[in-house]
Amino acid sequence: MAQHNVSMSSPAHPGSYANSNSNSCSLPGRLITADEIRTARLDLIPLRVEHAADMAVVLGDPALHTFIGGSPDDAEMLRNRYRRMLAGSPDPGVSWCNWVVRLREGFLSSSRERSQVEGSSGLVGTVQATIGPGAEGPLAEIAWVIGTPWQGRGFASEAARGLADWLAAQGMRTLVAHVHPDHGASAAVAAAAGLAATGEVHDGEIRWEASP
């Protein structure tokens, strides 16, 4: 979505921008709780079904689907999607962690931006991580999306970096993201999160990887 200045990677969880497994993720011998993550301007808040109405506003631009296909979900569709995902991954070795991204009030730059944020309760996007076993130890595949009205201010990079740092602190040995080769904005976010493009292509998307 580079031509639309859209900061978005392919969803880490199949069929959803943001899913939840009771806001917890498992690793061998321990359970990881999706804690709130605070960055310079943003709060990453563990996803709840109740976020669906606001997220339908945030994710309502069809341009967000330019590279991943599909169309925006309305609030009820998102509620149903989030409820289904609360049951967790069908693979017992894989867990999902999810957050909504909230912009703190002090960083609103205009009355228009304040109006836009008020319409979504301050939410501007989502980040997510799919956690499972990797060749070198625990692996997390990450994804992000920032709604169109809030792009161009570095929120996606800041949220992805905050998520990457949090995952590293939880013991992840490898971070992965998949980005369409024409999606320059999302490639920039992946680089800001410390990932580097590899030569591997999956379903037409480039695998980006880091070892925290």
* pLDDT tens-place string over residues 103-143: 987 776 655 555 555 556 889 999 999 898 999 999 999 99
| pTM (predicted TM-score) | 0.84
pLDDT value of residue 16: 42
Residue 70: per-residue pLDDT = 83
pLDDT, averaged across the chain: 83
In the chain, which residues have pLDDT < 50? 1-7, 14-21
pLDDT for residue 208? 98
**Cα(40)–Cα(162) distance, integer angstroms:** 9
Q: Which residues contact 43 (CB under 8 A, 6 or more apart)?
A: 36, 37, 101, 102, 104
**DSSP code for 64:** G
**What local confidence, expressed as pLDDT, does residue 84 receive?**
76
Residues 141, 176 contacting (CB under 8 angstroms):
yes
